[in-house]
Chain A
Amino acid sequence: MNLHLNLILESEKRSGASIRVWFLVRLVLILVPAVLLLYSAYLAYQMITLRKETDHFRELIAARQEQMTLSAQIAKQKKTYEDMLSQIHDWAASRLPVADRLDAFRLTVPLDIQLTSLRLTRTIRYTNSMPVAIYALQIRGKTRGEESELTVDQFLTRLRQTPGLASDLESAQVPPGAFLQDREPGAHPLDRVFLLECLFKPLGRTTP
């Protein structure tokens, strides 16, 4: 029969583990704050350095203020000159070379037709907020003979086909009711008067 006699008090009992809880608590309470303190010191140092760098850059910027102002003024001046140039280019681009068109037009008039008036007008129309020039030509004339309608048709065809004119024309027509008998006193019964309307293609920049 074995007799087990326990002579150790409860308070004298020790853990079998190699690391004690109390030791761990002390270690954490010293180590973690120490690490945090070191990290805080590093952060503070970094902040001071960053502020110094920021101030340095600000000083450099302030020292270049005059050059910056000059650069901004030159850029603004360049933009203004570009706008001025663009406006004058746009204006020139909306011009119809009238002399060339009239010269080309002269060759289209058949011998049987006598022109009584010619009127060219220019209007401005806005396309995509861009001003474009529209030229319209109104021609009044007289012709005689039983085939005067054919003569006017021939005139119209020539207008639409003449190089230097045809490419610029958007439309050319004798409006309804614009081919009439001449009612002037002393006019021959076969005398006819007509009105011919030509519209030129828009001139000018149409895209911004």
Chain B
Amino acid sequence: MSSASLSTRSSTSWRLVAYTVGGALLLIVLVIVTVILVGRRNTALAEREQVRQDHDKIQAEILALPALRKSRDEIFLRLRERTEPHLLFHRYRNYQLTARDRLLPLAAASGLRGEIAREAAPIPMPIAAPSGPKKKPAAKPRTTETKGRATDAENPVSLTYELYPVTMTASGSFAAVVRFLRAVETENPLVTVTELAITSQPKTPEEHRISISFLWPIWKDLDLKPKVQDLIMPIITFPSEEESAEKTDDGTDASSP
């Protein structure tokens, strides 16, 4: 065997080894690059899908905007129809005068001679707890509306309405009381009798002493009353639940008229 042929064989095998190692390294690098690119492509794909879904959702919301506006307007009209003629409005922040003007003519027409007691402070209107987990358990199961504040801090109260207590003392017959109450209840579906006492007087059997307590819903804050302007520019702020809870907890609600 010649030395030239030995050298050729040796260089051929070194070249083969070098090619193989170099090729393998290149292959590894390319595989790593490909894996990284696949990962990034998948991330970009997921991101595109997410943004596309958001866009589709927004597009659907925008398409539903006229229908949403229409249903909002319908509810607004129903609310106005329900509250406008029936909630008690104050005259120079005096509800007693308005209550008097609305109740006493009905009483007189029914045959009752009565008077409305002086101005009283509105009490909170109890409402159903919002669905979901309760923050605090109810401490007292029962409350009497006519005696002071109506609800415990644990029981939710309306942020929109309050109840104005109207106490009327009168004298008249049982039939006159029924006539008067029928007139009040027919005229206003929101005024509620919370206490009624009829006591007979031995000297005048046809004339009884009558005491009637009503609760009449009022707007807690007149700014919350739905207005037509709100439909055009629907930028309205309502007191948050937290604010309300704080107010009722320490009993310093300053929004009473």
Contacts and interface: CB of A to CB of B under 8 A. Distances in A.
**Does chain A bind chain B?**
yes
Interface of A: 9, 11, 22, 25-26, 28-29, 32-33, 36-37, 39-40, 43-44, 46-47, 50-51, 53-54, 57-58, 60-61, 64, 67-68, 70-71, 73-78, 80-92, 94-100, 102-103, 106, 114-126, 129-131, 133, 205, 208
Interface residues of B, number: 89
Contacts of B40: 43, 47
Interface string B48-86: 100110110011011011001101100110110011000
A46 B42 CA distance: 10
Nearest to A100: B182
Contacts of B142: 123-125
Contacts of B82: 85, 88-89
B111 interface: no
Given A54-B44, A122-B193, A125-B142, A74 B234 contact: yes
A81 B34 contact: no
A94 B236 contact: no
A76 B8 CA distance: 86
B198 to A, nearest CB: 4
B200 A115 contact: yes
B15 to A, nearest CB: 10
B109 interface: no
Contacts of B120: none
Contacts of A124: 126, 142-145, 150-151
27 contacts: A9-B1, A11-B1, A11-B5, A25-B19, A29-B19, A29-B26, A29-B27, A50-B48, A51-B48, A53-B48, A57-B52, A74-B68, A84-B160, A87-B125, A88-B82, A92-B189, A98-B181, A99-B184, A102-B177, A114-B200, A118-B196, A120-B195, A121-B144, A126-B138, A129-B156, A131-B126, A131-B151
A120 B55 CA distance: 60
Contacts of B199: 116-117
B65 A71 contact: yes
A25 B17 CA distance: 11
Contacts of A114: 200
B34 A87 contact: no
A64 to B, nearest CB: 5
Contacts of A80: 236, 238
Contacts of A37: 30
Nearest to A129: B129
